Amino acid sequence: SRYYREVLPGEIVKISRHDVQTLDVVQRPEGDPSAFCIFEYVYFARPDSIFEGQMVYSVRKRCGQQLAIEAPVEADLVSTVPESATPAALGYAQKCGLPYVEVLCKNRYVGRTFIQPNMRLRQLGVAKKFGVLSDNFKGKRVVIIDDSIVRGNTISPIIKLLRESGAKEVHIRVASPPIRFPCYMGINIPTKEELIANRPEFHDLANYIGADSVVYLSVEGLVSSVQESIKARQDNIPKTHKSFIGKLGHCTACLTGDYPVELEW
């Protein structure tokens, strides 16, 4: 039987007709832990992707559960903006003992909002992008789980849409910490000034986006959600593969400003 596994960070693999060989695993300088991008788990990756031996969907669900521990709220139902934050919303609902209910459905005939030439068109695009399932939430207190709020433009028209369609309260819970710093490792994160977490509006974000409350997951909560099952599994790895385990580490630079390598300008 063949043994399939991920290519390790820094691993050089030779694949030939005869076999698959590891030629070398280049360690990080000074034996530092690897620095796998934590935002792959939060947002970029497909939910069925497997990183570090765990499914991204499961990590997102754990983030939602952790968010429920950190930021519960008196409400009637939990939902999301379809559909990247669905696993986190299901985790949050499960932990809070609230029903998960769909409040929006995607209109599949509308193009992507982020390529619209200006802000007004982008916001109009958001409203047209979704249909409102108003029977599901009229007169009710709704918690909307989002995976990240980067600029704060997309969520505002959605909250407005829900209120106009009868939501009594709209609470926003974000299943990742605020992005505050640029990424120099290849992810196209907007400039510091564009990030809502660095703008004066962030001090009263709920009011700015029109929500009753907004709470983000803590950095510690995200890291523990990502690392929990990796640690548990490392204890059960056969001795023959122990040499493949590097020190556990994730890059949180966009959240903390703590970069995994020295920046040279």
pTM score, whole prediction: 0.87
pLDDT at res. 189 = 84
pLDDT at res. 111 = 55
- Angle of helix 56-70 versus helix 86-96 axis, rounded to 10: 40
Distance CA 196, CA 218 (A): 16
DSSP E strand boundaries for 177-258: 213-216, 250-251
What CATH number does the domain located at 1-259 have?
3.40.50.2020
Segment (H or E) for 36: strand 36-37
What pairs with residue 104 in β-bridges? 132
Segment (H or E) for 24: strand 20-25
pLDDT at res. 118 = 64
CB within 8 Å of 31: residues ≥ 6 apart: 247
Q: Residue 258: what residue type?
A: D
Could you tell me how many residues make up the chain?
Answer: 265
- Tens-binned pLDDT, residue by residue, of the chain (265 aa): 466 788 888 899 999 999 999 999 998 888 888 899 999 999 999 999 999 989 999 999 999 999 999 999 999 999 999 989 999 999 999 999 999 999 999 887 655 544 455 666 555 666 678 899 999 999 999 999 999 999 888 899 999 999 999 999 999 999 999 999 999 888 888 889 999 999 999 999 999 999 999 999 999 999 999 999 888 877 766 665 555 455 679 999 999 999 998 887 6
- Angle of helix 219-234 versus helix 56-70 axis, rounded to 10: 130
Distance CA 108, CA 82 (A): 11
pLDDT at res. 120 = 60
CA distances from residue 85 to 75, 89, 150 in whole angstroms, order as listed: 19, 6, 14
pLDDT at res. 1 = 47
